[in-house]
Structure 1
């Protein structure tokens, strides 16, 4: 299978807060990145290309503010926050920047599937942990740091 390079400059799942210092610069591919085959998944202006788990549109919990994809955690229970890119990829490289709210806990799921017998994305996808290691108790649980930011959650 050909390797597909992908880039996500901002965008997380669940209760993450993602910001960019200079969204105009960050939400663009350089000429070098274009030549290398990178693909921009977030344009810094809209949720175009994104959708919720088992839905056709992006959940209302997500909005674009100042060039960043932001999830309103207060709305999470009303309108699930799982956000997926509308296209599946083979092998890929993912490059991103993220920021989490104080005490926040989130994750980036990958290789998930939307099967009729599954209710939520974590039933089919591994998760890269996105966490405030200093303030969220989950960082102290687990084994050998397998619940800290950047880890493959619980593995």
Structure 2
């Protein structure tokens, strides 16, 4: 007769194998938990809480989480004004200088008007300059778009409005080929960090965010 062995893991250890709890990254009233890129501890400039929305309202640089993350699932909603451009940049290593030198970016864009919308590699939802977006999912200017970003180990997924638009493996042969053919060919720190800050990009345009939350993954 076969003997079934119970798991040796304790309930606490088993619980650690699953994702952590969802944590809001924006309280709807302030920019607490964030700082402008490379200026932790200083008052945030250019980003404001307005009527429950997080808004890029002026110059200030990328808005960066105080905390660093390794493996995580991030959800948020965004909208841009006509011709607007922004992005979600993740696993940023500050030694790289600018955020996008080390951190991959999920593109935020008004595809219909901005010139980058003519190329799927730089359209909304793309892994900017490396992996193309799926066309036709972006709702356009002044419309809310939902994002789900999954980063676990070397695996990354971009979801836009309920559809997976990008999936890739950091450091894979395919990823290296794409990186070397892109603007990041000489950026040796790009995509190398195993943990880092998350940033909302200041690209000079007015952008709105809401319902920003994250949970850490094992």
* CA shift digits 1:35-69 (9 cap, x unpaired): xx111111000000001111113531001100111
Aligned residues: 114
Matches of 1:123 and 1:3, distance apart in 2:
31
Matches of 1:2 and 1:107, distance apart in 2:
30
TM-score by length of 2: 0.49
Matches of 1:103 and 1:43, distance apart in 2:
28
More strand by share: 2
Kindly state the Cα deviation for residue 90 of structure 1 after the two structures are TM-superposed: 2.0
Gaps of 5+ in 1: 6-36
Q: Which of the two has higher C-alpha Rg?
A: 2
Gaps of 5+ in 2: 1-15, 131-218
- Higher RCO (CA 8 Å, separation ≥ 6 residues): 2
Where 2:55 maps in the other structure, the secondary structure is strand
Instruction: Pick the aligned partner of 1:55 from 18, 25, 39.
Output: 39
Q: Please state if 1:83 is matched with 2:63.
A: yes
Kindly state the Cα deviation for residue 2 of structure 1 after the two structures are TM-superposed: 5.9
* Superposed structure 1 runs of 4+ greater than 4 Å apart: 1-5
| Structure 2 contact 117–123 (Cα < 8 Å) conserved | yes
Q: RMSD in angstroms over aligned alpha carbons?
A: 1.8
Aligned to 2:22: 38
